[in-house]
Structure 1
Amino acid sequence: MFRGWPLLLFLGSCSGQPAIAPGGIVSNNPCIDAILAEIAAPHQISAVSVYSHESASASAPVDWARQFPALGTAAEDIIAAKPRLVLTGNLASSGTNTALAKAGIDVVAMGVAATLDEDIAQVRQIAKAIDRIDAGEALVARITQSISTPAAIPYRPTAIIWQNGGFVAGEGTMQDELLQRHGFRNASSGFGLKSWGILPLETLIRNPPEVIFMPVNADGREDRAMAARVQLINNLRNKTSIVHFPDRLLYCGGPTTIKVSKILAKAREDILALQQKDAP
């Protein structure tokens, strides 16, 4: 659940934000924030991740996150907030969690979910930690519904998720599992890729899949490098469909999985409708 972003330290006293109320729940991870936005009672939360205050890095709704003070990942800042509980990404290697434990602060730490089952387990772990089990199960039910596999899939279009830099989600990733759940066949294995790999543009153009899911920035635009690639890929318009979606949807699971599922399901419906229209 933790993204390898640069460390940002925000202190309430120097940022102009309200002081952090002691005795509450503190999250310093934007993926956890997204789950809290769905299942936590507002009075439970003392602070959220600083990343959740910015649309480019937020997974939780920004308007929701800005109701609360923002906090970075430095142990001294978290200790000064005097929380009852800290929900965090797996920061043990940095010593942060060790320092929090020595200060007598309860910590629930979790890494990046590799599968949908792990993702659901993390939702339940957070719900149990904050005593909101019923709300957690309601979110799990929505996630489970969103990823339900169609009863019969007679045809699976080939597809890849192709990010800036050529990064592609391969077999064994949660993104690969989502593609399969929604009736696609991940074309990454045909390019010899495993897990996350790099697929050069030239290779992609020579043998394109039927669908390219292409993440875009928070403002809905590609950066300059991606825009150039899109222009080239548009030459494949008669061979493949390009589906854009916000890149932040690749960062987290939880309720983000529901948003990704809607995009994948809609893309498959559009492709099948187009095939039926073109059928003789």
Structure 2
Amino acid sequence: MRFGWCIFPIFALAGCASQPVIAPNGVVSNNPCIDAVLAEIALPGQVTAISSYSHDPDSASAPLAWSAKLPAIGTGAEELLLARPKLVLTGNLAASGANAVLARAGVKTVAIGVAPTIAEDIQQIRTIAAALGRVDAGEALISDIHKSLPDTQISGSPMSAIIWQNGGFVAGKGTLQDELLARHGFRNASAQYGLSAWSVLPLETLVRNPPQVIFMPTAARGADVHALDARQKLLRHLGNRTQIVDFPDSLLFCGGPTIMEVSAILTRTRNSIQRAIP
């Protein structure tokens, strides 16, 4: 459930009594990927608002139990200013106009983009940790991420695979997910379909020329259930040619702690396929 936001505090008692109050002089994030890092490294009470996406099980990268304790906030400049934060952590593509307004108002803002590599993602964690004064906690998270990745080159020929999400969305070459596939002994099949970094792959094209592994959501809620059921029925005729592995949508777009979850899925899949080979 997403928390609402009361634009006019003067009417708080009349119209927003049930809404969580954003404490002033705290750290505010309106980016779900940043929220996931904050959940791991921030001190209790240090974060006073997070992205509304982090309250939605289908889009949250941060633990829902952590997110539920914090009010949500959007990307608009007025909304952010009313929260009276001492620091705003945001995506540099999502609200550049708002970021400029915050800067003119004297609010410190740190903008984090979409990291295309593991190395850049690690640097972003360090940037967030430094802004919070939590350098040691940031390094501890980075250490855990490194431990989750294979420390040696995967032997054998790479297995063709694709991360294929709702709507046919695919992470192609030049993305963090592409590097993660390669690190775990997979070859991103997006290139064989002529796809760029972020593209849409139609189901019909995928079925005509499937890879060895398709990482995709295998559970959905509400209206998505019908679309997912139809997709899975069409994919079933692939039989033993392709292995379908559960990969929630929420793992596609973020790095940070999400890398550890993705690494665990890729490692299990690679190991299970290798054990099945005579």
The equivalent residue for 1:10 is 5
**181-190 or 145-154: bigger deviation:** 145-154
Instruction: Give the TM-score taking structure 1 as reference length.
Output: 0.89
Q: 1:29, 1:152 → 2: CA distance?
A: 34
Aligned mates of 2:190, 2:19 — CA distance in 1: 45
Measure how far apart 1:219 and its partner are: 5.0
Question: Aligned residue for 2:40?
Answer: 38
Query: Partners in 2 of 1:93 and 1:84 — Cα distance?
Result: 18
Superposition deviation, residue 148 in structure 1? 2.8
| Identical positions, percent | 57
Decide which moves more: 15-24 or 266-275.
15-24
Please report how far the alpha carbon of residue 169 of structure 1 lies from its aligned counterpart in structure 2 after TM superposition. 1.9
Aligned to 1:172: 174
Gap change, CA 1:15 and 1:253, over 3 Å in 2:
farther
Q: Assess if the C-alpha contact under 8 Å between 1:149 and 1:183 holds in 2.
A: no
Cα distance in 2, alignment partners of residues 71 and 200 from structure 1 = 34
Q: Tell me the amino acid that sits aligned with residue 245 of structure 1.
A: F
Q: Does 1:154 align with 2:149?
A: no
Structure 2 gaps, min length 5: none
**CA contact under 8 A between 1:10 and 1:50: conserved in structure 2?**
no
Per-residue Cα deviation, 1:240-275 (whole angstroms, up to 9, x for no partner): 100012111112110011111111111111111111
Deviation at 1:63, TM superposition (A): 1.2
Contact residue 31 and residue 252 of structure 1 kept, 8 A: yes
Tell me, in whole angstroms, the C-alpha distance in 2 between the residues paired with 1:30 and 1:194.
Answer: 24
Letter of the aligned partner of 1:40 in structure 2?
A
Distance 1:203 1:92 in 2: 31
CA offset at residue 15 of structure 1?
Answer: 6.8
In the TM superposition, 1:113-192 aligns within 5 A as 113-192=115-194
1:152 shift after superposition = 4.1
2:247 aligns to what SS in structure 1?
A: strand
- Which segments of 5 or more consecutive residues in structure 1 lack a partner in the other structure? 1-7
Q: Give the RMSD, CA atoms, in angstroms.
A: 2.2
For residue 57 of structure 1, the aligned residue among 49, 56, 59 is 59
The one-letter amino acid of 1:10's match is: W
Structure 1 Cα separation of the partners of residues 276 and 138 of structure 2: 38
* Contact 2:102-2:108 within 8 A present in 1 as well: yes
Distance 2:61 2:158 in 1: 30
Q: TM-score, normalised by structure 2?
A: 0.89
